[in-house]
Structure 1
């Protein structure tokens, strides 16, 4: 399993944005990431900061960490693409029908954040069943 460091994750998004602006060829993963970067223009300046790799985004500052946010978008896109956990694609589609693609991803992000936090708090693996249940609740349906 690929487990990049914080610096590697940041460099990936910074380089993807740089390549896009330079009109260079992107890998398929970079292309997927670029789609989310383009939907978040509020992060473009962060990706261009000279200190981008070292920048801090403390909760107390009241600002979302752009790299965490983009990483979650990318993780969710991959989950939906491969339908893992099984059923996430259908839940995504139900959310997208209720909202739109971007808002559906944000709804999923809230659920993912909740189950990740719970797993970390309890020291247990991520509970896919709880994750899907939360998604279906947000979609206004039952699984």
Structure 2
């Protein structure tokens, strides 16, 4: 299992951004990341400076939203939908996309994903994927 550090994740997004801007060949994962990066031009300055991005503190106490967490959640949701895991997430996603469009649907799903992770951590239990999918369906 691949468990990248926060620095690895930040470098990945910065490198995908750099490659896309330079017109270089993108890996499939770079291409997915670049699509979501393009939908968030507010992150361009952060992504343009990899060294600063790696060094920056995005703790809750700092009060700054973490663009790398946000983009990572987009990638996670895209992967979940592509393999329909947890089961039912693709149908729930597609229903939201029909109503809201893909980007807004992802943001709604992020709320449910964050809630599932928070609850799992708080309770010291495995993530409740059925509750997660139901949360998305209710949106």
Report if TM-score (shorter chain) is over 0.5.
yes
- Where structure 2 has 5 or more consecutive residues not aligned to the other structure, the ranges are none
Q: Which residue of 2 aligns with 1:122?
A: 123
Report deviation, 1:58.
3.1
Corresponding residue for residue 99 of structure 2: 98
Deviating above 4 A after TM superposition, structure 1's stretches of 4 or more consecutive aligned residues are none
Q: Give the equivalent residue in structure 1 for 2:54.
A: 53
The whole-number CA distance in structure 1 between the counterparts of 2:79 and 2:56 is 26
Instruction: Note the aligned Cα RMSD (angstroms).
Output: 1.0
Match of 1:82 in 2: 83
**Residues 63-110 of structure 1: CA distance to partner in whole angstroms, max 9, x if unpaired?**
310000000000000000010001000000111111110000001011
Gaps of 5+ in 1: 139-143
Return the alpha-carbon distance in structure 2 between the equivalents of residues 118 and 108 of structure 1.
Answer: 15
Question: 1:38 — aligned with what?
Answer: 38
Instruction: Give the C-alpha shift of residue 17 in structure 1.
Output: 0.5
Figure out how many residues of one structure are paired with residues of the other and give that number: 138
